[in-house]
């Protein structure tokens, strides 16, 4: 019965060599296995570009002068007859309103309050006209005219300068836009210094906003009467500052050839 072949490598008897010794053959080498290395993954351009960012912050500060001024004109009369007291005040009230309308002040910007009372054997009529101006040059013209024509029979208060809510909102928008513009300009200068090209903004965040100065319509004027008109305007000036943070994409090196073209 034939023996099963051994799983070990078989030994073959070789013919006798000239030296008279037999040579023993080594096991046949195992066939070589081919190993293929997978190519290294190529980084995605999108993933590579995602890390090319520029983080920068910027700020701006703006001011805005008042856009409104309110002037009060007070007048009164004290007569023995009620009709005479009323008539004296009414004539001057009509002249004040006519002078303001003639210089472009709309009717809705004038408010008249009257107070009629009796003191002992006389009648007293008092009135106050509040006029709102958006043109300070017209305001001066009206006040000078009333002082010239009516003299001491009227008392004109110093103007109270203030901002409307719309003017304050406009100042807030303008300072925020200016801060974003300054931030973008800073990012462009940094990229230009490094030979890069600034891409689109990826994030813009308003970090801090401050406001100071300025007056409102409801605020009571507390400036001394000795202040000049320009000093009153300066004291009523509103200020605002804004700081923003932005992240911009960096496109890569600038194309110098395009620059030359």
pLDDT at 255: 54
pLDDT at 120: 85
Could you give the CA distance from residue 48 to residue 129 in angstroms, rounded to a whole number? 71
pLDDT at 256: 52
Using CA atoms, how far residue 124 sits from 92, 115, 151, 223, in Å, is 15, 8, 20, 30
Structural tokens at position 168? 């304050």
Nearest to 49 by CA among 261, 222, 250: 250
Cα-Cα end-to-end distance for the chain: 95
Instruction: Map residue 159 onto helix, strand or coil.
Output: coil
The region that residue 103 occupies, defined by phi over 0 for left and psi between -120 and 50 for alpha, beta otherwise, is alpha
pLDDT at 259: 52
pLDDT at 222: 62
Digit-by-digit pLDDT tens for the chain (261 residues) are: 444 444 444 434 444 344 444 444 444 554 544 434 345 454 444 444 456 899 999 999 999 999 999 999 999 999 999 999 999 999 999 999 999 999 999 999 999 999 999 988 899 999 999 999 999 999 999 999 999 999 999 999 999 999 999 999 999 999 999 999 999 999 999 999 999 999 999 999 999 999 999 887 766 666 667 789 999 999 999 999 999 999 999 987 655 545 544
Could you give the CA distance from residue 208 to residue 213 in angstroms, rounded to a whole number? 17
pLDDT at 182: 97
Residues 6+ apart with CB under 8 A from 116: 82, 85, 86, 123, 124, 125, 126
pTM of the model: 0.70
* SS3 labels along 116-148: EEEECCEEEEEEEEEEEECCHHHHHHHHHHHHH
């Amino acid at each position: 019965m034939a023996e099963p072949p051994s799983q070990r490598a078989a030994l073959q008897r070789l013919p006798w060599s000239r030296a008279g010794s037999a040579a023993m053959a080594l096991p046949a080498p195992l066939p070589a296995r081919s190993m293929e290395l997978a190519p290294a993954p190529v980084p995605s351009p999108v993933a590579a570009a995602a890390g090319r960012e520029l983080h920068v912050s910027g700020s701006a500060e703006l001011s805005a002068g008042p856009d409104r001024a309110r002037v009060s004109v007070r007048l009164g009369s004290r007569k023995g007859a009620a009709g005479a007291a009323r008539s004296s005040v009414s004539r001057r009230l009509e002249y004040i309103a006519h002078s303001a309308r003639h210089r472009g002040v709309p009717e809705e910007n004038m408010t008249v309050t009257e107070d009629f009372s009796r003191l002992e054997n006389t009648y007293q009529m008092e009135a106050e006209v509040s006029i709102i101006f958006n043109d300070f040059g017209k305001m001066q013209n009206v006040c000078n005219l009333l002082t010239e024509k009516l003299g001491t029979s009227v008392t004109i208060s110093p103007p109270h300068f203030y901002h409307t809510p719309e003017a304050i909102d406009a100042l807030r928008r303008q300072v925020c836009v200016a801060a974003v513009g300054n931030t973008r300009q800073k990012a462009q200068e940094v990229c230009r210094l490094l030979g890069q090209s600034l891409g689109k903004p990826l994030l813009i965040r308003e970090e801090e906003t401050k406001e100071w100065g300025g007056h409102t319509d409801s605020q009571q004027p507390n400036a001394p009467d000795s202040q000049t008109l320009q000093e009153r305007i300066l004291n009523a000036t509103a200020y605002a500052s804004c700081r923003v943070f932005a992240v911009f994409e960096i496109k890569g090196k600038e194309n110098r050839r395009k620059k030359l073209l």
